[in-house]
């Protein structure tokens, strides 16, 4: 978990570049099919050079502090949103980069991991965000099937409200590192003058995501 100053600066940046979306009347849909009134679009970071440089510098500090300076042999980006972040992280860590497909490409070498690495290589998996955590297992399975090891995942943003997803990662011995969560964004948003109605919608969802979705179906 990032320190408080890092978390608040990350939240401020995400709000400034309008990567935070609150839309209860037109809910977003997660990969799992779950409905959500909130969404953080970390892909927008790629279009803001100063913001992304600040975020990636904080990412390196967080990764090295929490995992170690010599903990990895390879940085892997998860297809597709994680690829640019993995490139910036690998450059700063001076490590080789690969990327992991969601499924084998179905032709040629039928590879699921693109790039070069040795058997037993220690991977750092990089993604843009973590919500329920389910998609992370697809990438972890591919890395393990290729004969490598992955015990650490870095994301810019972690929803921080789906404990079952985090527990499933912990069960396989994987630690998730992030710069900020919704709790941090709520603090920053309140400071920046977001309305009570907007923030209450977020808090209601975060407190009970399944209950919020059920109410939408019955409305």
Query: For the residues 192-214, what does the mean pLDDT come to?
Result: 85
For residue 111 the two structure tokens come to 């590879």
List residues bridging with 125 in a β-sheet.
76, 153
pLDDT digits (tens, 9 = 90+) for 81-104: 999 999 999 999 999 999 999 988
Domain ranges of the chain: 4-214
For residue 22, the model assigns a pLDDT of 86
- CA proximity to 17, closest of 59, 60, 52, 53: 52
pLDDT tens digits, one per residue of 8-47: 999 999 999 999 998 888 888 887 778 888 899 999 999 9
Rounded to the nearest integer, the mean pLDDT of the chain is 91
Q: How far apart are CA 19 and CA 17, in angstroms?
A: 6
Q: What is this structure's pTM? A: 0.93
State CA 202 to chain mean position distance.
19
**For tokens 């679009």, what's the residue?**
41
In the predicted model, is pLDDT for residue 114 greater than 80?
Answer: yes
> Beta-strand (E) ranges in the chain?
20-22, 28-29, 35-36, 38-40, 74-78, 97-100, 113-114, 122-130, 149-158, 175-181
CA distance 114 to 157: 25
The reply to whether CATH 3.40.980.10 applies to domain 4-214 is: no
Which of 176, 108, 109 lies closest to 139, judged by CA? 176
Query: How far out from the chain centre does Cα 215 lie?
Result: 27
Contact 35, 28 (CB under 8 A): yes
Selected residue with higher pLDDT from 29 and 75: 75
Phi first, then psi: give them for residue 54, nearest 5 degrees.
-60, -45
Lowest mean pLDDT among 47-51, 86-90, 101-105, 118-122: 101-105
Burial class (CB in 10 A: 0-12, 13-18, 19+), 35: middle
């Amino acid at each position: 978990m990032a320190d408080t100053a890092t978390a608040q600066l990350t939240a401020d940046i995400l709000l400034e570049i309008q990567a935070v979306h609150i839309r209860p009347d037109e809910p977003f849909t997660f990969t799992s099919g779950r409905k959500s009134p909130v969404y953080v679009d970390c892909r927008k970071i790629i279009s803001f050079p100063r913001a992304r440089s600040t975020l990636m510098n904080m990412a390196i500090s967080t990764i090295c502090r929490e995992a170690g300076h010599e903990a990895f042999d390879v940085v892997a980006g998860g297809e597709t949103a994680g690829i640019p972040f993995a490139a910036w992280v690998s450059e700063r860590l001076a490590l080789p980069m690969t990327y992991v497909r969601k499924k084998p490409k179905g032709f040629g070498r039928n590879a699921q991991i693109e790039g070069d690495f040795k058997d037993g290589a220690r991977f750092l998996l990089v993604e843009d965000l973590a919500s329920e955590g389910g998609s992370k297992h697809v990438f972890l399975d591919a890395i393990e099937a290729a004969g490598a090891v992955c015990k650490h995942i870095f994301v810019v943003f972690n929803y921080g409200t789906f404990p079952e997803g985090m527990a499933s990662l912990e069960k396989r011995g994987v630690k998730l590192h992030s710069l900020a969560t919704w709790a941090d964004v709520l603090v920053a948003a309140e400071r920046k003058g977001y309305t009570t109605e907007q923030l209450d919608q977020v808090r209601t969802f975060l407190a009970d995501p399944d209950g919020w979705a059920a109410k939408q179906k019955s409305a």
